[in-house]
């Protein structure tokens, strides 16, 4: 027996090809995918397909599902954190954020993370496995399903790959996910409404340039010089800051899209006068945007944010020097749903 293929990881044309090869009508792929988008978890629910069709389909495909979904809502800002249990017992977390312009979801791409950034909770329990494209998409499906119980016309507008894991370390599955998420029969999210954040895997950033997938690329910068960056982010020893900046510039030239840098301020570590001038030097004169955030505390580190006024002054002096810097709002802090606070262990509180 061949192993069954997960229907959630396939694009409509791929499903259509398989159907045709097996003597079924290709257009049924559209019907099937539309069921998946509306939250169907089994072939039995696809009632516009005959019993015979459903039986044939279940011989060819499987439909991956979460084993369990729990959620927690922030009392401060309504952000919802979802804890999903995968069928193999692993956990991933996703976050639903509500903005003036609509809903964004922050998705996980791996169970755990190998990158070891000192300030991030997601990496503390190590790496377990990659998520498949279907499992990344399934987080959106489940969030949509839950929210539509309360708001029938609920729609996700933006997707950010900033949950647990390093998306570019799971390159093929993430690229497939991007295509699925963009496809009009599924969520139809425009590439410009999708952001992918990376700690800076240079070969994969190069590969991404050739994909013609015009998403927004975010780079986790967090330090303005190589020594500090290597201390905070071990990946810098493999892919040094200087080379990373070169490839980022190349990316903007090749794609015409600016790079967005994330920079979490840690009091006394990366918020000094010296840091400021190094940042100005790194970012002046080319297409980029700097997102400043106060570091979110995690229980394993002593890294703490500075006071708000200092953050505002830091932003203001960068802006004065011509840097396109803004302060990003922190959402979901009371439910440990903010950047760098998601974990792969069950810890929903």
Choosing from 183, 278, 339, 345, which is the catalytic residue? 339
Binding mask 287-306 toward ligand SAH (x if CB under 6 A, else -) reads ------x-xx-x--------
**Single residue of 262, 269, 279, 288 touching ligand SAH by CB under 6 A:** 262
Any catalytic annotation for residue 25?
no
CB-nearer residue toward ligand SAH: 5 or 213: 213
Query: Distance between CA atoms of 122 and 149, rounded to whole angstroms?
Result: 30
* Residue 245, CA distances (Å) to 68, 97, 213, 283 in order: 41, 30, 21, 9
Q: Which are the contacts of 5, defined by CB distance < 8 A and separation ≥ 6? A: 18, 60, 61, 62
Q: Which are the contacts of 78, defined by CB distance < 8 A and separation ≥ 6? A: 98
Q: Least distance in Å: CB of 119 to ligand SAH?
A: 4
The residue number with the shortest CB distance to ligand SAH is 340
Choosing from 62, 69, 93, 246, which is the catalytic residue? 93
Q: Least distance in Å: CB of 291 to ligand SAH?
A: 8
Query: Distance between CA atoms of 12 and 149, rounded to whole angstroms?
Result: 26
**Single residue of 79, 94, 193, 198 touching ligand SAH by CB under 6 A:** 198
Q: Least distance in Å: CB of 296 to ligand SAH?
A: 4
232 belongs to the binding site for ligand SAH (CB under 6 A): no
**Single residue of 24, 36, 40, 120 touching ligand SAH by CB under 6 A:** 120
Query: Distance between CA atoms of 92 and 110, rounded to whole angstroms?
Result: 8
Q: Which are the contacts of 75, defined by CB distance < 8 A and separation ≥ 6? A: 334
Cα torsion angle, 68, 28, 157, 190, sign: positive
User: Which residue's structure tokens are 């799971």?
Assistant: 170
223 belongs to the binding site for ligand SAH (CB under 6 A): no
199 belongs to the binding site for ligand SAH (CB under 6 A): yes
Tokens of 204: 């994969």
* Residue 223, CA distances (Å) to 100, 291, 300, 339, 341 in order: 31, 13, 20, 16, 19
Any catalytic annotation for residue 242?
no
**Single residue of 136, 339, 343, 344 touching ligand SAH by CB under 6 A:** 339
The residues that touch ligand SAH, with contacts defined as CB under 6 A, are 115, 117, 119-120, 162, 166, 197-199, 220, 222, 262, 264, 293, 295-296, 298, 339-340
The catalytic site residues sit at: 93, 339
């Amino acid at each position: 027996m061949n192993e069954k293929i997960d229907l959630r990881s396939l694009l409509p044309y791929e499903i259509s090809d398989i159907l045709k090869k097996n003597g079924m009508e290709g257009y049924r792929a559209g019907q099937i995918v539309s069921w998946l988008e509306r939250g169907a978890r089994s072939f039995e629910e696809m009632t516009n397909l005959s019993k015979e069709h459903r039986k044939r389909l279940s011989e060819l495909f499987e439909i991956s599902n979460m084993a369990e979904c729990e959620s927690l809502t922030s009392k401060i800002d309504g952000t919802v954190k979802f804890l999903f249990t995968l069928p193999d017992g692993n956990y991933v977390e996703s976050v639903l954020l509500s903005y003036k312009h609509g809903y964004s979801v922050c998705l996980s791409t791996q169970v755990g993370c190998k990158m070891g950034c000192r300030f991030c909770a997601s990496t503390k329990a190590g790496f377990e496995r990659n998520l498949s494209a279907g499992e990344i998409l399934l987080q959106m499906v489940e969030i949509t399903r839950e929210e539509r119980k309360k708001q029938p016309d609920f729609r996700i507008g933006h997707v950010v790959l900033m949950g647990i894991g390093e998306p570019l370390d799971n390159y093929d599955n993430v690229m497939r996910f991007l295509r699925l998420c963009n496809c009009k029969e599924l969520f139809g999210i425009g590439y410009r409404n999708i952001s992918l954040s990376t700690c800076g895997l240079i070969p994969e950033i190069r590969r991404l340039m050739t994909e013609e997938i015009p998403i927004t690329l975010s780079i986790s910068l967090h330090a303005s010089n190589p020594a500090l960056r290597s201390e905070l982010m071990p990946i810098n020893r493999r892919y040094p800051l200087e080379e990373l900046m070169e490839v980022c510039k190349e990316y903007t030239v090749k794609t015409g899209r600016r790079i967005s840098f994330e920079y979490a301020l840690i009091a006394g570590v990366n918020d000094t006068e010296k840091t400021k001038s190094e940042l100005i030097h790194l970012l002046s004169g080319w297409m980029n945007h700097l997102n400043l955030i106060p570091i979110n505390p995690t229980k394993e580190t002593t890294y703490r944010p500075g006071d708000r006024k200092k953050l505002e002054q830091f932003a203001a002096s960068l802006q004065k020097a011509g840097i396109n810097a803004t302060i990003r709002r922190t959402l979901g802090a009371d439910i440990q749903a903010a950047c760098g606070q998601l974990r792969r262990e069950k810890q929903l509180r």
